[in-house]
């Protein structure tokens, strides 16, 4: 008891008690307010889903069905997840410009908020791949360029070309160029496999490897034109074109000049 009373009168007792009390109150408030937040976010989410549903009914349901169950010309969206919606709509691929073989990238029809609402609505129908968070996309900090390049050449280059410039597929389908694509959309494309692209699940390519691939694509995008004009980075076709036009053109021009009679 003597010891306790001595501590109670210690010089530091007051401040320590104060800190302790503040910490307790703070933590309690934190927990309480978090609970409160969750309940409001559930309410917000219901509103967002409703918003998304309205957009869906106006813009998407004519093809995908009133309950996203799919139809004659469009697939069911139940279980495709928020990532799929975010990729298709935020890159402007959906709504489609026309019923050609493949939806092409164009200016998006909906703004970021509307895309979020649509994605939330579709995700609410059944679980599916989520929109990746910032932590999965921090390619500037994490990932390895060289490893990403190896993975890209093994898994992606056969369609998207060695420098991610895109390439042709059968029947007019094509693998688009990856230059200027948002890291989030690259990630979502790998997870959801849009159009002709296969799904690269987290078992085939782990999230860290996906990040490395994004890091490599971004490095290819920023790569300076080493050795002169890049000629589209599509291989020898443009080189052949240049030599048959500018190259031999210059040389024949000089030959004609050399063979002219002196005046």
Helix (H, G, I), strand (E, B) or coil at 174: strand
Q: How far is the CB of 244 from other proteins (least distance, A)?
A: 6
Strand partners, 175: 167
User: Could you tell me how many residues of this chain bind other proteins (CB under 8 A)?
Assistant: 58
Nearer to other proteins, 133 or 172 (CB): 172
- Could you give the CA distance from residue 1 to residue 14 in angstroms, rounded to a whole number? 19
Residue 109 or 242: which CB sits closer to other proteins?
242
Candidates 25-33, 114-122, 154-162, 189-197: pick the segment binding other proteins (CB under 8 A): 154-162
Confirm if 176 and 183 have CB atoms less than 8 A apart.
no
Q: Are 42 and 84 in contact (CB under 8 A)?
A: no
| CA nearest to 88, candidates 118, 133, 113 | 118
Q: How far is the CB of 217 from other proteins (least distance, A)?
A: 11
**CA 26 to chain CA mean position, Å:** 38
Which residues 87-116 are close enough to bind other proteins by CB under 8 A? Answer: 101
Nearer CB in complex with other proteins: 31/158: 158
What is the sign of the dihedral through the CA atoms of 215, 185, 210 and 171?
Answer: negative
Annotated ligand binding at 185? The verdict is no
**Whether the Cβ atoms of residue 148 and residue 206 lie closer than 8 Å to each other:** no
Q: Which of 162, 182, 196, 221 binds other proteins (CB under 8 A)?
A: 162
10 is in an annotated binding site: no
Q: How far is CA 113 from CA 40, 49, 147, 181, 204, in A?
A: 18, 12, 35, 19, 32
Site for other proteins contains 146 (CB under 8 A): yes
Decide: helix, strand or coil at residue 175.
Answer: strand
Q: Which residue has the tokens 């009679």?
A: 261
Minimum Å distance from CB 183 to other proteins?
A: 17
Collapse the DSSP code of 168 into the 3-class scheme (helix H, G, I; strand E, B; otherwise coil) and give the result.
strand
Closest approach of Cβ 160 to other proteins, in Å? 6
Rounded Cα distance, 122 and 126, in Å: 7
Q: Is residue 153 near other proteins by the rule CB under 8 A?
A: yes
Give whichever of 65 and 176 is closer to other proteins, judged by the CB atom.
176
156 labelled binding-site residue: yes
Q: How far apart are CA 131 and CA 187, in angstroms?
A: 9
**With CB under 8 A as the contact rule, which of the stretches 10-18, 37-45, 156-164, 182-190 interacts with other proteins?**
156-164
Q: Does 198 bind other proteins (CB under 8 A)?
A: no
**Residues at the annotated binding site for heme c?**
60, 63-64, 156, 159-160
Residues forming the site for other proteins (CB under 8 A) = 101, 145-146, 149-150, 153-154, 157-163, 165-172, 174-175, 216, 219-220, 223, 225-231, 233-240, 242-244, 246-248, 250-252, 254-256, 258-259, 261
């Amino acid at each position: 008891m003597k010891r306790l009373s001595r501590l109670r009168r210690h010089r530091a007792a007051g401040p320590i008690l104060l800190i302790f009390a503040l910490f307790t109150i703070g933590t309690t408030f934190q927990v309480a307010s978090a609970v409160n937040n969750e309940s409001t976010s559930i309410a917000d989410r219901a509103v967002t889903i409703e918003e998304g549903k309205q957009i869906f009914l106006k813009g998407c349901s004519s093809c995908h069905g009133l309950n996203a169950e799919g139809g004659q010309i469009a697939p069911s969206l139940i279980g495709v997840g928020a990532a799929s919606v975010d990729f298709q709509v935020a890159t402007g691929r959906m709504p489609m410009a026309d019923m050609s073989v493949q939806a092409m990238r164009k200016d998006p029809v909906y703004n970021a908020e509307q895309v979020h609402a649509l994605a939330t609505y579709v995700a609410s129908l059944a679980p599916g791949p989520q929109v990746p968070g910032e932590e999965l996309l921090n390619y500037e900090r994490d990932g390895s360029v060289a490893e990403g390049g190896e993975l890209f050449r093994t898994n992606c280059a056969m369609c998207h070309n060695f420098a991610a410039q895109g390439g042709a597929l059968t029947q007019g389908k094509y693998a688009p160029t990856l230059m200027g694509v948002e890291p989030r959309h690259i990630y979502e494309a790998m997870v959801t496999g849009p159009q002709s692209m296969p799904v690269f699940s987290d078992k085939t390519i782990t999230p860290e490897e996906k990040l490395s691939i994004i890091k490599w694509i971004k490095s290819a995008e920023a790569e300076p034109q080493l050795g002169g004009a890049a000629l589209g980075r599509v291989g020898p076709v443009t080189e052949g074109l240049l030599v048959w036009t500018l190259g031999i053109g210059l040389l024949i021009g000089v030959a004609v000049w050399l063979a002219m009679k002196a005046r």
